[in-house]
Structures are given as structure tokens and as C-alpha cells.
Chains A and B, each alone.
Chain A
Amino acid sequence: MKHYLTLLSHEVRMLLVNPSTYIAAVMFLGVMGFMFTGILESYSKTPQDTSPAHVFFSIFWFPVLFIVPLLTMKCLAEERRLGTIETLLTTPVTTTEVVLAKYSAAYLLYVSLWASTGGFFYILKKFAGDSRFLDSGPLIGGYLFVAVSGLLFIAVGVFASSLSRNQSVAGILCFAMLAGLIVGVRFLADATWLNRDIFAPVKSAVDYAQIFSHYEDFTRGVIDARQILFYFSGTVLALIFSILGVEAKLLHS
């Protein structure tokens, strides 16, 4: 692991000099800001039961579906398309170090993008001057949820990128996998045919993997170790598959 930091600083630097990072950041902040003002407007019209932070984080799936593929589709696919993976892997670095460095860099960027939305709440507090708008519970829970679930989402993106040398294929693959994970599982949970006794184990598995219900728990302040385990084990699995994906491509290239 001694090359990890060298690789990570290289990756972060590459992200910082790349214009597409800034385009993604501007788009992300633009969309999120637009939604935040929409939420505030609805609050100003009618009183609501929940805090604005709760509503704001409940639309987490929308930026995730678009930003995660944008951030991760390039990482391994580009390296393979240009052939630089060959020069990289003929130095004394391991595939694990390369994949982990790329993953960490993308995760850091993802988390810092979300962290910058903290500015919205700061502005709200400064100008509204009403602490009721800023319920710290859902706020901290929401950011914690974003940070923990981001581990898995970015890992899925890195995995998709390891499967293809074409960036757009990797991006679409990542979008499809995330949509299946977030939206698909929700649809399954609502399906009535799963309520039969014979499907009981499937039903419990689907309920366990419900990302929306994890979100509800986090913002209510319930931090369940099983949910944390779900994200961690999913992340580790996706990263192991990415490493295997890169190595399998070498065997068959």
C-alpha cells in the first residue's frame, strides 16, 4: 500500500485540473440550489410537518443517478482506452492500489460536492434567523447518510468503469445499476406478488436493501449497524469485483 498516497494525490490533482469536474460541480450545485429554493417556497406558503433538511435529502437519488456516473465513468475506462493502464501496472504498483486510489479520489470529490450544499443551510440560517428551519438532527443524519451511502454508490460506479473501455458505456451501465439498486428495489418492495409466503425470504432481503428506508432511519437519528454493514459490505464487494474486472481484462486482452 506504499504507493496508495502517491496515486491518490495524482488522481485528486487530475480531478482538479479537469474541466469536467467543474462542469459536474456547477451542474450539481445548480440543480440542488434550484430544488432547495423550491422547498423553501413551499414552506413559505404552507406550514409543513418536517424540516426542510428532511425534504432536501429525500431527493438524494436524483443527483446520485446523474453525478455518480459522471464522476466515476472515466476512472478506469479512460485509463484502458488510452493504454496508460499498461504503463501504470508495469511499475511496482498493484491493481488494488490503483483501484482504491481512483475510488478514494472519486469519493472525496463526491463528498466535497455534497458538503458544499451545506452553504445552502448556512445562508438559510443567516437570513431567516429562525432556528426552527434548522433542525440539526435531520441535517446531521442526512449528511451522514450521504457519506455512508456514497461509499457504495461510488464503488458501483468504479465497478461499471472497470467493465468497459468506453466511457459512455461505463456511464450508462453505472446509471442502470444505481437505478436498479435505488429505484428498482423500491418497486420490488411495493410489489404485491412478493407478499406470498413462498417469497418471504426474498421479501425480507428486499426490505433490508431498501435505500429509501435507510434514509428515513438516518434522518430520524436511528443509526442501525445492519444498514452500515449493508453499505460497507456492498462497497467491499463492488471494489473486489472492480479489481477482478481490471485483472480479468488483462488476462483476456
Chain B
Amino acid sequence: MPDQPLAIEVSHLVKTYAGVTAVADISFTVARGEIIGFLGPNGAGKSTTMRILTGYLPATSGSVRICGLSVAHQPDEIKRKIGYMPENNPLPEDMRVSEYLYFRGRLKEVSRRKLGPRIDEVLELCDLKRVRHKIIGQLSKGYRQRVGIAEAILAEPPVIIMDEPTIGLDPHQILIVRDLIASLRGRMTVIISSHILPEIEMTCDRVLIINQGRVVAQGTPTDLRREVLGGSHYQLEVAGDLTSLPAHLALVEPTLTVTAQTEPDAAGFRSVSLSTDRVDELGEPLLRALLAQNLRVRSLSRVHSTLEDVFLAATRRSWDAVAAPKPAAK
């Protein structure tokens, strides 16, 4: 057995529906115990990819292996290894929470003896103890969502796939779900998709940005920032003669350039945006250089780009890539 066994291997996955390509040649791997986030605009192919991973939908071409087993050839074994919560979290309306979990546990082949204590444990984990005898149809969105999550982790599968688990939850409940997912780290491999970017950034080890059925960027949030946005950015508030500023900046770091500059305010300060290819901290040499020029500096800060910027940049880049070859082909 290799040192770093892969939980999920997806290679050249393609799915077309009636001529529309939902997933176009996606490849990625997920290591055991990793938490990975799928990001992408609506209709990017996130849900379709997840459904193929669970074996619910067949792929048009390409292969998916989960824990070394092929989804297409051993669908029954695959289904024992996956806990899946679909988009919109469909639940039967007229069952009680504990009844539903018992039924699902039996379907997932948890033995009767183990199922009772396991249900208690899962109810505790998801903070559902108070509603265990309530009818699911009468529960609020937050509770329903947690019933879905409880159901996904019920049989302790090695791989958990959740399609938008935090949709419709209030901040407090999001916190609970985030802690819950984080508590699975190392024990289970988790794939979640979400629109809430800070959510993904906080819980996931790695992010996969999907657009138009393609993986447009992948890596840790830090890697993605560097790869997609390139270098680092600084924000400066400075007063004085700025005509020689670019030349002095070049002395500090050759790639340091002024990207934007505002008109001076009442006190004569302008705010200046700088960008550089370097990723390490340049604040101190920059400040020294500025003060040596007798410029008055009111503030200097490094811009911390959010995953949102990365996401927007990566998806825009992929739109451009898709749009670009078309005129060339004509």
C-alpha cells in the first residue's frame, strides 16, 4: 500500500446531457483525510461531478476511482464507502428524525446493535438531540440541513460528499457545521461545494475552482492567490512629490509598479496602489525608501486578497479562455 493512499482519483471525466457538455475533462485527486472544496458559479458542473462521484449518474467518458475502486465497475462497493448529501437536501416529510436515521442506517448496512448508539452519537454531534422525535416536515431549514449532514456521516464512510451543506443556515449554525466538518479532518475525506467563499477558505485544505465544466484552478487558498492573482499588492497613503516615485520603487524591487493613484485629498495625501511579483514581505524596505525621499507616509498596508478575488479572477480567466479560440476558428 502506498504511503499516501488516494481517496479519490478522477481522470478526464466528461459528462454530456443531450449535446450539452456539463463536465468537460476534469481531472483531480484527493488524498485520504483531506477536506476539499468545490467552487464555481451556478451551472459550472459541481453537482454533476459530485453525482458522478457517488455513482448516481454514469459518466460519458473518463474514470473515477474511490479508495482504489472504480465507480463504473463496482458501484455497490462504492456506495458503501460514500456518505452523500445532495443539493437541496431532500428528506422525506412525514418521518421522525430518529426513525429516518434508523431507516438510513439499516440501508447503509450498519448492524442493528451498533445503530442505536451511533444514532445517539450523530444526533449529539449535529446538535439534534432536542428534535429527535420531531417530524422532519415540521423542522426549520437549519435543522433539516443538519439532519442531512447527520445522515451523511451516519455509517462512518471513508468519503463524504456534501453539495452545499451550509446553504440556508444562519451564522451560528454555519459555525456548528464548520466545526463538525473540521472534526472529520484526518478521519474522513470530505468534499464540499459552496458559494460561501470564506466558508470554504476556513474549512478546506484545498480548493478546486470549476467553471464551464473545467477545473480552472486548484490548490490551497494561499497557492491559489499567488497563482491566480500573481505576486502581492500594497496600499499606500503618501504626501509629497510623486514624480520620481516609480524610479525609487524600482530600486527597492524591480517588479514593483504603481497600478493606481488617486488625487490628493485636503491634507495632500494620495492613496497609491502598488503591485509586485515578489511574494515575501517588502513593507520595511519600501517604507525606508519612501522616508529617504522625504515623502510623508500616513499608512502602508499589504492587501490581503480574499478567496473571492481569486474566484472572480479565475472564472474570468476561464471565460476569456473559452471565448478566445472562437474568432480564431472562423
Binding site for B on A (CB under 8 A): 3, 6-7, 10, 14, 17-18, 82-84, 86-94, 250-253
Collect the chain B residues with CB atoms within 8 Å of residue A88's CB: 107
> Across the interface, do A90 and B88 meet the contact criterion of CB distance under 8 Å?
no
> Across the interface, do A10 and B103 meet the contact criterion of CB distance under 8 Å?
yes
- Indicate whether B104 reaches chain A with its CB closer than 8 angstroms: yes
Closest B residue to A80 by CB, please name it.
B90
Collect the chain A residues with CB atoms within 8 Å of residue B88's CB: 83
> Across the interface, do B107 and A82 meet the contact criterion of CB distance under 8 Å?
no
A64 to chain B, nearest CB (A): 27
Contact with B56, one of A3, A84, A90 (Cβ below 8 angstroms): A90
* Alpha-carbon separation in the docked complex, A3 to B79 (Å): 14
Collect the chain B residues with CB atoms within 8 Å of residue A17's CB: 94
* Alpha-carbon separation in the docked complex, A86 to B54 (Å): 10
Closest A residue to B53 by CB, please name it.
A90
Contact with B151, one of A7, A18, A87 (Cβ below 8 angstroms): A87
Closest A residue to B152 by CB, please name it.
A87
| Contact status of A14 and B76, CB under 8 A, knowing A87-B86, A90-B82, A250-B56 | no
B73 to chain A, nearest CB (A): 15
Q: What are 17 of the A-B contact pairs (CB < 8 Å)?
A: A3-B107, A7-B107, A10-B103, A82-B90, A82-B91, A84-B91, A86-B51, A87-B91, A87-B104, A87-B151, A90-B55, A90-B82, A91-B79, A92-B79, A92-B80, A93-B107, A253-B57
Closest B residue to A93 by CB, please name it.
B107
> Across the interface, do B79 and A90 meet the contact criterion of CB distance under 8 Å?
yes
A97 to chain B, nearest CB (A): 10
Within 8 A of A (CB), among B94-117: 94-95, 103-104, 106-109
* Alpha-carbon separation in the docked complex, A17 to B90 (Å): 19
The secondary-structure label for the interface of chain A is helix
Contact with A84, one of B17, B51, B90 (Cβ below 8 angstroms): B90
Closest A residue to B135 by CB, please name it.
A17
> Across the interface, do B58 and A251 meet the contact criterion of CB distance under 8 Å?
yes
For A86, A87, A253, the residue with the greatest tally of chain B CB atoms inside 10 Å of its CB is: A87
> Across the interface, do A91 and B108 meet the contact criterion of CB distance under 8 Å?
yes
B193 to chain A, nearest CB (A): 15
* Alpha-carbon separation in the docked complex, A94 to B75 (Å): 10
B67 to chain A, nearest CB (A): 15
Within 8 A of A (CB), among B106-136: 106-109
Leading 9 A-B pairs by shortest Cβ distance? A83-B90, A91-B107, A92-B79, A90-B84, A6-B106, A90-B54, A84-B90, A86-B86, A82-B90
> Across the interface, do A87 and B84 meet the contact criterion of CB distance under 8 Å?
yes
* Alpha-carbon separation in the docked complex, A93 to B47 (Å): 21
* Alpha-carbon separation in the docked complex, A24 to B189 (Å): 47
* Alpha-carbon separation in the docked complex, A208 to B85 (Å): 50
* Alpha-carbon separation in the docked complex, A3 to B94 (Å): 21
* Alpha-carbon separation in the docked complex, A94 to B94 (Å): 23
- Indicate whether B18 reaches chain A with its CB closer than 8 angstroms: yes
Q: A6-B103, A92-B79, A93-B107 given. 5 additional CB < 8 A pairs?
A: A10-B103, A82-B93, A86-B56, A90-B56, A94-B76
Contact with A252, one of B17, B108, B109 (Cβ below 8 angstroms): B17
* Alpha-carbon separation in the docked complex, A253 to B104 (Å): 24
> Across the interface, do A92 and B55 meet the contact criterion of CB distance under 8 Å?
no
B110 to chain A, nearest CB (A): 11
> Across the interface, do A92 and B108 meet the contact criterion of CB distance under 8 Å?
yes
B155 to chain A, nearest CB (A): 9
- Indicate whether B19 reaches chain A with its CB closer than 8 angstroms: no
Collect the chain B residues with CB atoms within 8 Å of residue A252's CB: 17-18
Collect the chain B residues with CB atoms within 8 Å of residue A253's CB: 57
B175 to chain A, nearest CB (A): 26
Collect the chain B residues with CB atoms within 8 Å of residue A3's CB: 106-107
A69 to chain B, nearest CB (A): 21
> Across the interface, do A83 and B86 meet the contact criterion of CB distance under 8 Å?
yes
B50 to chain A, nearest CB (A): 10
Collect the chain A residues with CB atoms within 8 Å of residue B85's CB: 87
B49-93 interface code vs A (CB 8 A; 1 in, 0 out) = 001001111100000000000000000100110101110101111
A11 to chain B, nearest CB (A): 10
> Across the interface, do B108 and A82 meet the contact criterion of CB distance under 8 Å?
no
* Alpha-carbon separation in the docked complex, A91 to B154 (Å): 12
Contact with B104, one of A18, A83, A86, A91 (Cβ below 8 angstroms): A91
B134 to chain A, nearest CB (A): 14
Contact with B57, one of A6, A7, A94, A250 (Cβ below 8 angstroms): A250
* Alpha-carbon separation in the docked complex, A150 to B57 (Å): 34
Collect the chain B residues with CB atoms within 8 Å of residue A251's CB: 57-58
* Alpha-carbon separation in the docked complex, A14 to B136 (Å): 13
B60 to chain A, nearest CB (A): 10
Collect the chain A residues with CB atoms within 8 Å of residue B151's CB: 87
| Contact status of A92 and B90, CB under 8 A, knowing A86-B56, A87-B151, A250-B57 | no
Collect the chain A residues with CB atoms within 8 Å of residue B56's CB: 86, 89-90, 250
Collect the chain A residues with CB atoms within 8 Å of residue B51's CB: 86
Closest A residue to B56 by CB, please name it.
A90
